[in-house]
Chain A
Amino acid sequence: MSVGVRESCGKALCETIERSITTHAMVATPELISCLTNSVDLSHIEKNQAQRAAGMEMLDFTQQLISGVALGCVYGLIALGFVLIYKATEVVNFAQGEIMMLGAFMSVTFIATLGLNYWLSFLLCVIAMAILGAVMERVVLRPILGYPQFSIVMATIGLGLVIRALVGIIWGTDDLRIETPFTDGVFTVGKLVIAWDALSIIVATVLLCGALYAFFRFTKVGIAMQATSQNMLAAYYMGIPVKRMFSLIWSLSAMVACAAGILLAPITLIHANLGFLGIKAFPAAVLGGFGSIPGAVAGGITIGIVESLSGFYLPEGFKDVAAYIVLLAVLLWKPQGLFGLNAVKKV
């Protein structure tokens, strides 16, 4: 007897018993008796089955959780780029996803076309993006410093369009792939299978956050950036080159985005729609309150987990919008995000 049939038999038994109790017709029919005798070992087997299923479920869940965390780290890294720029300049950079995409495509050129070593390419890409980030700030953002936020947001959207179009013109619209040390290979803990690429993202995120923390905490430039982000005018009066700080912040955030793009490359193919991940990272940044670096990463991981679990357990279609539903719910509940400050304007 297959499991399905047994289950249905057990179900029928329960229904019969229920019915007999509710109707007070306590007449033991032969079928009922046979069913009852059967049910003894049946329940035993079912219990085993349930245990095993629970084990499988647990494993599935953990597996989904890990891939969610890995995906979330990418969101977190993109969100980190948002947060860095927002904290310093009060600009929300809608082109962050496209900058990440540009980094990923650049790695294609270095690794696949020029055949350079992965680590060297990584370094070159990050340096190139740092320069490009500063150029973008100088050309697009510097002239509109102090404009209404809406205009600045639109300018970054325009920047994103330009980057996406240029990427399409330079690299074409085909899906590309790069060879990385993490492309294949898995890492197993008991029955749990973790892909190297997922693990590499998690490890890199932790390292990057540590590096950023140290940068802002211990270096002079980092402290100057903090000062700039807290009070631009005061920082300026203290002799901090505020404009150069803005360029530096953009460099920094482009570097982080570039790292995210290259780390993501082995998981998804590199294609012109990669930039849309940037829009997915908004919920992450908002959940984190748009002003806090650990908040951005925490928000990213939350969104990653939500997305991967909803993709596994909920009907099709929820995966794509789960992040936004969570975002709206959180905004309704806490308008300044989970880690945001809720201060009242002074009059």
Chain B
Amino acid sequence: MVHRVRTDYGDSDPLFPSKAAAFWYAVLMAGLLAAPYLLESYYLSQLVFIMIYAIVGVALNILSGQAGQVSIGHAAFLAIGAYFTAVAQKYGVPLVLYLPLAGVFTGIAGYLVGLPALRLHGIYLAIATLAFAFIVEEIIARWESVTHGNEGLMLPPPSLFGWKLGSESFYYLCLLVTVLVILAAINIIRSSTGRSFMAIRDSETAARSMGIDTARYKTTAFALSAGITGIAGALYAHKMSFISPEMFSLAVSIDFVMIIIIGGMVSLRGAVFGAIFMIMADPLLIILKDRIPSLTEALTHALFLPDAATQAIQAGVLRVVNAPGLKSLIFGIIIIVFIIYEPMGLDGRWLRVKAYFKQFPLARQRSARPPRMFLKSERR
């Protein structure tokens, strides 16, 4: 076991755990700053999506990972942020104002959703957030005077102090917002507020007996998480430059939860890993889809199968590959596989790989295995 040497009381949770870590984060930052000059526009655009998803991942990490409150309705907060942005931009509010305001406005919505959460636990809360998301989606679809209903809204490109932001400058805006959001989340987690979230997650009874106003901190967690998602919604609206109700459906909420399930809920790094995975899964799937038919053809030829069999296999493969549900099939399998075999997510795998290299010749599989979990009844 490795013990950290501490030299003063102020360093219990430094921003960077070590000088080496600070160096690598600086390298990463430099790479991201240089990205517009190095990457094709398609990959730059994927990076923007990753950042937006990472912001949502951070929001969900605070709510579910830190405070232990479940939400399967976060697409609604994204929608509120996005529509707020569209309307604010229409009325000529400048970007520097409406971007933070989108966060504040959505945060208030999150606070209101958090109110019923005070009395709800576990599954009841999950279903309540689901219900909220459906209601928001319906309101957006029906409130045509503001939202144009199912026709959707077009957004002009964002402008900052009179300059229209092109795709590159928008990339830098997203990068700035992402970094600020992550810094804010780190600060929250290592403060008294973050510790209260953790206390509520692990034992509400003990939290109350330690003087924590659980109701206040639960609503705070909801408001914070919703506010951050609202900011992501503002960026999302500009990125898409068109928004309509079906872009904020239940499937999107489930995508968001997948971010933290796949990335790992323990740390913020997990949110970023999860976002990368979710965004890059799409192009990877497309590549696979293109390659698989020719691969199977090569395979059947290599095996000298009769023509009829080749054709049958080929047809079967094509049917599966071109099926409209292929993406959800693969995502469904990924969720299940991750939960069963990698419950700590990509972040957990990352930590284990790192530990393996640190202890290099001495690393043993068994010491890296996550502890077994036993049923802890929520029934009271």
Contact = CB atoms under 8 A, between A and B. Distances in A.
A173 B324 contact: yes
A335 to B, nearest CB: 4
Given A145-B375, A150-B70, A162 B332 contact: yes
Contact of B336 (A155, A166, A272, A283): A155
A327 interface: yes
Interface string A262-303: 000000000010000001001100100010000000000000
Interface in B319-337: 319-320, 323-326, 328-329, 331-336
B135 A324 contact: yes
A299 to B, nearest CB: 12
Nearest to A229: B379
Contact of B328 (A90, A165, A232, A317): A165
A4 to B, nearest CB: 30
Nearest to A231: B377
A286 B124 contact: yes
Contacts of B250: 279
Nearest to A147: B373
Interface stretch (A183-191, A304-312, A338-346): A338-346
Interface stretch (B24-32, B115-123, B220-228, B281-289): B115-123
A68 interface: no
Contacts of A343: 380
B141 A159 contact: no
A324 B131 CA distance: 5
B114 to A, nearest CB: 13
A149 interface: yes
A165 B326 contact: yes
Contacts of A166: 325, 329
Interface string A62-93: 00000000000000000000000010001010
Contacts of A200: none
A283 B124 CA distance: 10
Contacts, number: 148
Nearest to A173: B324
B70 to A, nearest CB: 5
Contacts of A335: 119-121, 124
B119 A155 contact: no
Contacts of B122: 149
B380 A144 contact: no
Contacts of B325: 164-169, 272
Given A164-B325, A169-B325, A328 B132 contact: yes
A344 to B, nearest CB: 7
B135 A325 contact: yes
B328 A161 contact: yes
Contacts of B91: none
B363 to A, nearest CB: 25
A179 interface: no
Residue in B122, B124, B324, B378 with the greatest tally of chain A CB atoms within 10 Å: B124
Given A168-B324, A344-B380, A155 B340 contact: yes
B135 A155 contact: no
Contacts of A321: 134-135, 138
Nearest to B329: A165
Given A145-B375, A153-B126, A317-B138, A332 B339 contact: no
A241 interface: no
A332 B335 contact: no
B328 A164 contact: yes
A148 B123 CA distance: 11
B123 A290 contact: yes
A162 B329 contact: yes
Residue in B124, B332, B380 with the greatest tally of chain A CB atoms within 10 Å: B332
Chain A interface helix/strand/loop/mixed:
helix
A272 B328 CA distance: 13
A102 to B, nearest CB: 13
Interface residues of B, number: 52
A345 B343 contact: no
A43 interface: no
Contacts of A204: none
Contact of B141 (A152, A317, A347): A317
Given A90-B377, A151-B261, A162 B124 contact: no
Contacts of A159: 332, 336
B64 interface: yes
A165 B124 contact: no
A158 B131 contact: no
Nearest to A289: B124
A150 B64 contact: yes
A155 B124 contact: no
Given A279-B250, A317-B141, A344-B380, A140 B336 contact: yes
B379 to A, nearest CB: 6
A146 B375 contact: yes
Contacts of A337: 124
Contacts of A148: 373
Contacts of A286: 124, 127
A331 B323 contact: no
Given A168-B323, A168-B324, A327-B131, A232 B335 contact: no
A176 to B, nearest CB: 16
A317 B380 contact: no
A346 B257 CA distance: 31
A331 B335 contact: no
Nearest to B265: A150
Contacts of A320: 134, 138
A213 B6 CA distance: 64
Interface in B283-335: 319-320, 323-326, 328-329, 331-335
B128 interface: yes
Interface string B360-375: 0000000000000111
Contact of B329 (A151, A161, A344): A161
Smallest CB-CB A-B distances: 3 pairs: A161-B332, A158-B335, A165-B325
9 contacts: A90-B379, A92-B126, A144-B340, A155-B340, A158-B333, A161-B331, A165-B323, A286-B127, A336-B124
Given A155-B340, A232-B375, 16 more contacts: A90-B375, A90-B378, A144-B339, A145-B375, A146-B373, A147-B373, A149-B378, A162-B328, A162-B332, A165-B325, A168-B324, A279-B130, A290-B123, A325-B135, A327-B127, A332-B116
Interface of A: 86, 90, 92, 140, 143-155, 157-169, 173, 232, 272, 279, 282-283, 286, 290, 316-317, 320-321, 324-325, 327-328, 331-332, 335-337, 343-347
